[in-house]
């Protein structure tokens, strides 16, 4: 969007296509910050507005998932979680995984879901996927509160308190997870404008991806039991985020400097690739969506 003076014409702004595919245009996003927070408020309020339990689903989903994982993978399959209670081990992984999947799933439907808005009024299109990432931070905060409640409970029951000063790095993991989910979501959203069945593939693929992301087991277990499939974990950046988050919250597992560096690089590259594809698609998507 180019700013013009009244002396040069009868308009203040001229809207035109971006010349730079890498443009995030934070200055313009800041100008539309009120709209950004309006979308965030809309997403938070309307998702559970006409439901019986409402925001309680924020609590129910991670709790029931953690209970299911504990019964199936720990009690039945016998996966050990060290000195940490199995339920707490699973909950720590589920919380950060839920944030990634929410960012990916909701962002991947941006163009198709908001085609009516995009076709009527101008605003920086990247605001919508950004609002999704911010909205999911609220959900993440609620689910972390659930984790804290159970953590305190287990400490009172005799579990050793392992959380320390390293927790200050936890927000960095959230940022990395958000960048990766946002980047992949923008790529998929751009492809969905032409190939609608990708929406079903994403839902199915995310479920499979969870099983190779060390959400319900330690990374070391796969390397020990199935060394021939260890590469699936070693080259999955999500596994390092989940494993590191458990280490910061519970002191269980390990932190790989190489793995974290690899994860950050992949997340940044995917984000900028998603931005390029998103900026390119927004010029003509209205003709195909």
In sequence order, what DSSP letters do the residues of 81-126 get, joined into one string? -TTS-HHHHHHHHHHHHHHHHHHHHHHTTHHHHTHHHHTT----TT
Which range, of 40-54, 81-95, 126-140, 152-166, averages the lowest pLDDT?
40-54
Tens-digit pLDDT profile for residues 205-240: 888 888 888 898 888 888 788 788 778 888 899 999
Query: How far apart (Å, rounded) are the C-alpha atoms in residues 289 and 283?
Result: 12
- 114 vs 64, residue with greater confidence: 64
Share of the chain above pLDDT 90, in %: 26
Query: How far apart (Å, rounded) are the C-alpha atoms in residues 156 and 148?
Result: 12
Which range, of 17-21, 118-122, 163-167, 236-240, averages the lowest pLDDT?
17-21
Residue 185 has pLDDT above 70, yes or no: yes
Query: How far apart (Å, rounded) are the C-alpha atoms in residues 188 and 114?
Result: 15
Cα of 105 vs its chain's centroid, Å: 8
Residue 20 has pLDDT above 70, yes or no: no
Nearest to 280 by CA among 19, 83, 32: 19
Segment 47-54 mean pLDDT? 60
Query: How far apart (Å, rounded) are the C-alpha atoms in residues 216 and 96?
Result: 12
What pLDDT is attached to residue 106?
84
Token reading at 216:
């319900």
Both ends of the chain: CA-CA distance in Å?
A: 23
- Global confidence as pTM: 0.84
Residue 277 has pLDDT above 70, yes or no: yes
Which whole-number Å values give the CA distances from 177 to 61, 98, 180, in the listed order? 20, 10, 5
Residue 281 neighbours by CB under 8 Å, 6+ apart: 111, 189, 190, 193
Which range, of 117-121, 125-129, 263-267, averages the lowest pLDDT?
117-121
Residue 2 has pLDDT above 50, yes or no: no
What pLDDT is attached to residue 204?
81
Residue 66 has pLDDT above 70, yes or no: yes
Which whole-number Å values give the CA distances from 102 to 108, 118, 129, in the listed order? 10, 22, 11
* Number of alpha helices (DSSP H) and beta strands (DSSP E) in the chain: 13, 2
> pLDDT tier at 67 (50, 70, 90 boundaries)?
very high
Query: How far apart (Å, rounded) are the C-alpha atoms in residues 84 and 274?
Result: 38
What values do phi and psi take at 27, rounded to 5?
-65, -40
Tens-digit pLDDT profile for residues 70-121: 999 999 988 888 888 999 999 999 999 999 998 888 888 777 777 777 767 7
Which whole-number Å values give the CA distances from 166 to 169, 247, 250, 263, in the listed order? 6, 9, 11, 18
What pLDDT is attached to residue 221?
86
Contact 85, 160 (CB under 8 A): no
């Amino acid at each position: 969007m180019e700013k013009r003076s009244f002396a040069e014409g009868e308009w203040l702004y001229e809207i035109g296509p971006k010349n730079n595919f890498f443009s995030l245009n934070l200055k313009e996003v800041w100008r539309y910050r009120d709209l950004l927070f309006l979308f965030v408020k809309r997403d938070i309020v309307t998702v559970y507005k006409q439901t019986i339990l409402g925001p309680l689903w924020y609590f129910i989903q991670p709790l029931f998932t953690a209970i299911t994982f504990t019964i199936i993978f720990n009690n039945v399959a016998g996966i050990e979680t060290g000195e940490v209670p199995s339920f707490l081990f699973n909950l720590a992984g589920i919380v950060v995984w839920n944030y990634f999947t929410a960012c990916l799933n909701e962002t991947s439907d941006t163009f198709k879901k908001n085609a009516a808005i995009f076709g009527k009024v101008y605003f920086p299109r990247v605001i919508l996927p950004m609002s999704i990432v911010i909205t999911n931070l609220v959900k993440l905060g609620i689910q972390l509160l659930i984790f804290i409640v159970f953590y305190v409970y287990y400490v009172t029951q005799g579990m050793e308190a392992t959380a320390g000063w390293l927790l200050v790095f936890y927000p960095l993991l959230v940022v990395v997870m958000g960048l990766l989910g946002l980047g992949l979501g923008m790529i998929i959203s751009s492809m969905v404008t032409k190939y609608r069945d990708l929406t079903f593939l994403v839902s199915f693929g995310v479920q499979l991806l969870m099983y190779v992301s060390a959400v319900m087991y330690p990374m070391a277990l796969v390397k020990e039991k199935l060394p021939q499939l260890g590469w699936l974990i070693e080259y999955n950046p999500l596994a390092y985020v989940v494993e590191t988050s458990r280490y910061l919250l519970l002191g269980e597992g390990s932190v790989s400097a190489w793995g974290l560096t690899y994860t950050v690089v992949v997340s940044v590259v995917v984000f900028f690739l998603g931005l390029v594809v998103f900026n390119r698609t927004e010029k003509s998507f209205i003709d195909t969506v």
